Amino acid sequence: MNIHSQANLPPFTAGNLEQLRKRGLPECNTDEEIALAMGISVEKLYFLADKYPASSSSHYCRFQILRKTGAARTITAPKPELKAAQTWIFKHILDKIKIHDAAHK
């Protein structure tokens, strides 16, 4: 996931703000506003979003467990900071948006 600078986006219109408020969604229009709502720095937001892909850091722990058949299964789990960000996004945005009937949760 890459976050692009939102400085060139137009400010929210009254209609957009009304839709966000109606759904109980955060009123974020910039990277800074998203980071502030999440309670993290913009630098941390960029880090978690892999805005700097040259970083050798991985946001996931990889480990293996054995299946009932004895074959190995690789699990890739987010590290705590990324998991917290994902949980915030789910709780404050995704869980508040109605899913189309053709989609599956």
pLDDT tens digits along 41-98: 999 999 999 877 666 678 999 999 999 999 999 999 999 999 999 999 999 999 998 8
Based on DSSP, count helices (H) and strands (E) in the chain, helices before strands: 4, 2
Going by C-beta distance under 8 Å and a sequence separation of 6 or more, which residues neighbour residue 49? 1, 2, 3
What confidence tier does 8 reach under pLDDT thresholds 50, 70, 90? Answer: low
Position with higher pLDDT, 75 vs 99:
75
**In the prediction, which pLDDT does 58 show?**
86
Residues in the chain: 105
pTM of the model: 0.74
How big, in percent rounded to 5, are the helix, strand and coil portions of the chain? 40, 15, 50
